[in-house]
Structure 1
Amino acid sequence: MNFISHPIKLLAFAALGSGIFLSCAQSKLASQAKTETTGQPSGKVVPANLKWSERMMLSEMYRFPEAWMLDFSKSPKWTYPTAIVLDGAELLYAKTGKKEYYQYISDFGDKLVKLDGTILTYELEKYNIDLLNSGNVLLYLYEKEKKEKYLKALQTLRRQIDGQPRTQEGSFWHKKIYPYQVWLDGLYMGMPFYTHYTSDFSKGAEATKAYDDIVFQFDSVQKNLRDKKTGLLYHAWDESRTEAWADKQTGLSPNFWGRSMGWYGMAMVDVLDYLPQNHPGRARLISYLRSYADAIIKVQDKNNGLWYQVLDQPLEKGNYTEATASAMFVYTMIKSVNKGYLPKSYKTYAQKGYDGIIKNLITVDPNGVVNLNKCCAVAGLGGKPYRDGSYEYYVNEEIRSNDAKGTGPFILASLEFEKHQYKRQGIQEKN
């Protein structure tokens, strides 16, 4: 495999050597993007007449010429944010047929999974539920390419689910190093993969048991992490009540963090893609989605349509409208409307949020490259240095642009808004 025939890989090589993403791969991407639908050159890396989904996807590919770079990684690493952007690439390939989107996904699989099925940098024994999310990419690639190495890697990830430590009532711990802790983040990291894998590979009683287990994870979270007064869910719950961040009576963390709620909403709406129509848990999940949507609408900024880093304290010093949570909420609501899980009236709130993102959080460079700004880089609980879950902690975490945890949901939300446009053009939808 030579660099000349794979210009994206050449750019990755140049980036690792120089620390900046400049090489002939970007030149190739720019030349591909210069031809608009009219066939006329646009003079830009990313043409402005494309839909927002493609504009952001091409911008991400320009910034991060290989998909493993999407998490700002300096070398190939198995992380969870990459998969969110690649979900968008899968859908864009299905809609447009543009092979560069598929190649971007395929190159990720080739790079991260060895011939024997070993996943680079992945360690099963850590039982980190975050690391299941990129399994969604391998499910897609195995369906398309049937490579044995992907099947072996998928079976390894599925074994993690079998061994993942659980609370006494059966909820998955977020990580082995965080005993007895359930984080909202984990529902997104693990459950869509678990459901999709079950749909593809399990049958009969084995499948029923798995689907029941998946729905239980949401039942447990609703019981233990949901605030009855506001309908919002706390970031995490410590069954043992031993963590410094955990309330000694309830075990709950102190605040409603925007992105943790965003993860939870995306988890529900994506799990429903693969949960059988006749499963008794579907109705409960849809009821949870309705309750969830009602709660986030109440804390949506009435003026700009966005959501705050700490959801229920918009006027407190240091709080800000945050991009990743806003994109996740918009995606969850518009997809729920399109799928019929929420009434059409909820589209108004999704549209207001989407318009708010474009007006307030999106900037476009002179070359057409699109940026998503005001993304919280990372937030968690515990660890070293210790993260106490306080208001001050959340609002003082690093803020950056073009984090995949925001650009990915923005692409997915854009695709949901664009569905009717594609249908008018006669392009078949992917379910």
Structure 2
Amino acid sequence: MKGIKILSLSALALGIILSCAQKPLQSEANEKPASTQIKTISSKLPWSERMMQSEMKRFPEAWMLDFFKAPKWSYPNGLVLKASEQLYRKTGKPEYYDYIKAYADELVNEDGTIKTYDIRKYNIDMLNSGNVLIYLYSVTKEQRYLKAIQLLRSQLDAHPRTSEGGFWHKKIYPNQMWLDGLYMGQPFYASYTNLFDTGVSAEKTYNDIVNQFDIVQKHMVDPKTGLLYHGWDESREQEWADKKTGLSPNFWGRAMGWYGMAIVDVLDFLPADHPGRQKLINYLVSYSDALVKVQDGKTGLWYQVLDKGGEQGNYLEASASSMFVYTFAKAVRKGYLPDSYNTVAKRAYNGILKNLITVEKDGTVNLNQNCAVAGLGGIPYRSGTYDYYVHEEIRSNDPKGTGPFILASLELEK
């Protein structure tokens, strides 16, 4: 791979890449952690830890997240483990680090290959858990983690693209960009570039990252509402795609959640003097203004289909609401949005606690009303209609909800 320079991580670099990270003890770094066993969860803990410990209780091995029955390399695991990483930084409790490392040790082979990962599928979802490996490599320097990181990064060198350079969501979804894909690929791409690339190579990559957002803004924003459609088919060949615009027909809450998180997380790595930085912040402002207009007036939450709150079958959805809280709270803390959005975030967060959280006798916390999954096309065919979105499975404790809930909690607890 051209332009890759493996840097030794000085204290300064660690401060930039892993601000406030606490390096594990040597025994923690080298020994394979045992599975986590949690019996009761204290109500005295902050909500971030209560939910994280609940996840660890439900899924003693991190590969079980998303209700998997066997180890699998997938994106929901990386989402919850990012939250676990931040909790370890904050608290120093080794169980949070052990939970992360056990996942990597189960999935990453000694030669750096990754179990169940097939690069030939060109599935951008598979890059998200690469953030777990970047963190672990930074604190352990284990070469297998580095090789696995480089393997994932190499996917982008040949990943199929639209005519304007946008990454397809998957090889099996030709000519399509989904909002989901911006979160799955771009924070990893940016983090990798920040850590390993320099000079012209880094500048070229940062430009490529910003271009992904430019393409989305050009094609997927509704000029009337400012909301973004779930997907765009450049070829206009899909049944779900409008024949003139190529757009899917609805505004799915979690798709916009992924997009907002992608912006605020990419900004962690985009250089301060990069011309695309202010552009992304402007996109975030427009996005945020549009979301406030469809926030439920009674609960402060958001619906599964964002602009159709009063229609039959629609429901207040936990994962999207948690993602929006995280995006707004982080954006305010970083100075991208005005302080008024912290009020929006807190109102929504309180709505989650009041309407979507239940607590069991042993202290286990449940996050209810999560859409299990939604997509476009495929087999069986997913039409992107309103009826489709409101009839997908709804379940409690989906990691695509619990992960963002923990991240949102951490932002509001700071």
TM-score of the aligned structures, taking structure 1 as reference length: 0.88
* Alpha-carbon contact 1:310-1:394 (below 8 Å) kept: yes
Within a 5 Å distance, the mapping from 1:375-390 to structure 2 comes to 375-390=370-385
**2:233/2:246 contact within 8 Å kept:** yes
Cα offsets for 1:81-119 (capped at 9, x unmatched)? 011111111111111110000000011111110001010
Name the structure 2 match of 1:19.
none
Question: C-alpha distance in 1, partners of 2:33/2:138?
Answer: 26
- Aligned residue number for residue 278 of structure 1: 273
**Take 1:328 and 1:159, find their aligned partners in 2: how far apart are those partners?**
29
**Structure 1 segments of 4 or more deviating over 4 A?**
5-8
User: Residue 396 of structure 1 corresponds to which residue in structure 2?
Assistant: 391
Q: Find the counterpart in structure 2 of residue 416 from structure 1.
A: 411
User: Is the CA contact (8 Å cut-off) linking 1:375 and 1:400 kept in structure 2?
Assistant: yes
- The equivalent of 1:357 in structure 2 is 352
> What's the counterpart of residue 227 of structure 2?
232
1:174 aligns with 2:172: no
Residue 12 of structure 1 corresponds to: none
What's 1:255 paired with? 250
CA distance in 2, matches of 1:339, 1:362: 28
Partner of 1:341: 336
Q: Secondary structure at the residue paired with 2:169?
A: coil
% of aligned pairs identical? Answer: 67
**Structure-2 separation of matches of 1:209 and 1:193:** 16
Tell me if 1:214 matches 2:230.
no
- Are the equivalent residues in 2 in contact too, given 1:78–1:120 (CA < 8 A)? yes
Over 3 Å counting, the alpha-carbon distance change for 1:335 and 1:152 in structure 2 is: same
2:23 paired residue number: none
- Residue 71 of structure 1 deviates from its aligned partner by 1.5
1:373 — aligned with what?
A: 368
- In the alignment, the residues of structure 2 paired with residue 62 and residue 178 of structure 1 have an alpha-carbon distance, to the nearest angstrom, of 36
Q: Within 2, Cα distance between the matches of 1:400 and 1:322?
A: 10
Count of paired positions: 384
Aligned to 1:406: 401
- Distance in 2 (alpha carbons) for counterparts of 1:257 and 1:417: 25
In structure 1, distance between residues paired with 2:233 and 2:80: 31
Residue number in structure 2 paired with 1:67: 62
Q: Which residue of 1 aligns with 2:129?
A: 134
Mapped partners of 1:7, 1:274: distance in 2: 30
* In structure 1, C-alpha distance between the alignment counterparts of 2:365 and 2:209, rounded to whole Å: 37
- What secondary structure, in the 3-state scheme, does the structure 1 residue paired with 2:90 have? helix
Distance in 2 of aligned mates of 1:301 and 1:74: 37
1:291 counterpart letter in structure 2: S
Give the residue type in structure 2 aligned to 1:241.
R
1:144 maps to what in 2?
139
Paired letter, 1:317:
Q
Task: Choose from 36, 40, 47 the match for 2:42.
Answer: 47
Q: Deviation string for 1:112-161 (max 9, x for gaps)?
A: 10001010100000000000000000000000111110111111111101
Give the distance between the partners of 1:278 and 1:112, measured in 2 at CA.
37
Post-superposition Cα deviations, 1:41-62, rounded to whole Å, max 9, x if no partner, equal xxxx110010000000000000
Q: Give the structure 1 partner of residue 84 of structure 2.
A: 89
* Conservation of the 8 A alpha-carbon contact between 1:184 and 1:260: yes
Q: Which residue of 1 aligns with 2:116?
A: 121
- C-alpha deviation, 1:254, in angstroms: 0.2
> What is the CA RMSD across the aligned residues, in angstroms?
1.0
Deviation at 1:381, TM superposition (A): 0.4
Q: Retained in 1: the 8 A contact 2:130–2:188?
A: yes
C-alpha separation in 2, matches of 1:79 and 1:87? 13
CA contact (8 A) 2:33 2:101 kept: no
Cα distance between partner residues in 2 of 1:94 and 1:134: 18
Match of 1:165 among 153, 160, 171: 160
Matched, 1:288 2:288: no
- Please point out which of 308, 311, 328 is paired with 2:306: 311
Report the AA paired with residue 167 of structure 1: T
Distance 1:198 1:181 in 2: 25
State the alpha-carbon separation in 1 of the partners of residues 185 and 196 from structure 2.
16
CA contact (8 A) 2:33 2:98 kept: no
**1:71·1:79 contact (CA, 8 Å) conserved in 2?**
no
How far residue 7 of structure 1 moved from its aligned partner, in angstroms, is 8.2
Asked whether the equivalents of residues 51 and 365 of structure 2 are also in contact (C-alpha less than 8 Å), the reply is yes
For the residue of structure 1 that corresponds to 2:244, the secondary structure is coil
Equivalent residue, structure 2, for 1:42: none
In 2: Cα distance, 1:414 partner to 1:171 partner: 32
Higher mean C-alpha displacement, 388-397 vs 83-92: 83-92
Mapped contact 2:357–2:366 kept (Cα < 8 A)? yes
Q: Distance in 2 between matches of 1:143 and 1:49?
A: 32
- Aligned partner letter, 1:199: N
Letter in 2 for 1:309: Q
Cα distance in 1 for residues equivalent to 2:370 and 2:50? 18
Q: CA–CA distance in 2 between the matches of 1:97 and 1:135?
A: 22
Q: Is the 8 A contact 2:168 2:175 kept in 1?
A: yes
Q: Which residue of 2 aligns with 1:111?
A: 106
**Amino acid in the other structure paired with 2:138:** E
Q: Which runs of 5+ in 1 are unaligned?
A: 10-24, 31-44, 420-431
Counterpart CA distance in 1 for 2:125 and 2:147 is: 19
Counterpart of 2:282, as a letter, is S
2:358 alignment partner, SS class = strand
- Aligned residue identity for 2:385: S
Stretches of structure 2 lacking an aligned partner (at least 5 in a row): 1-30
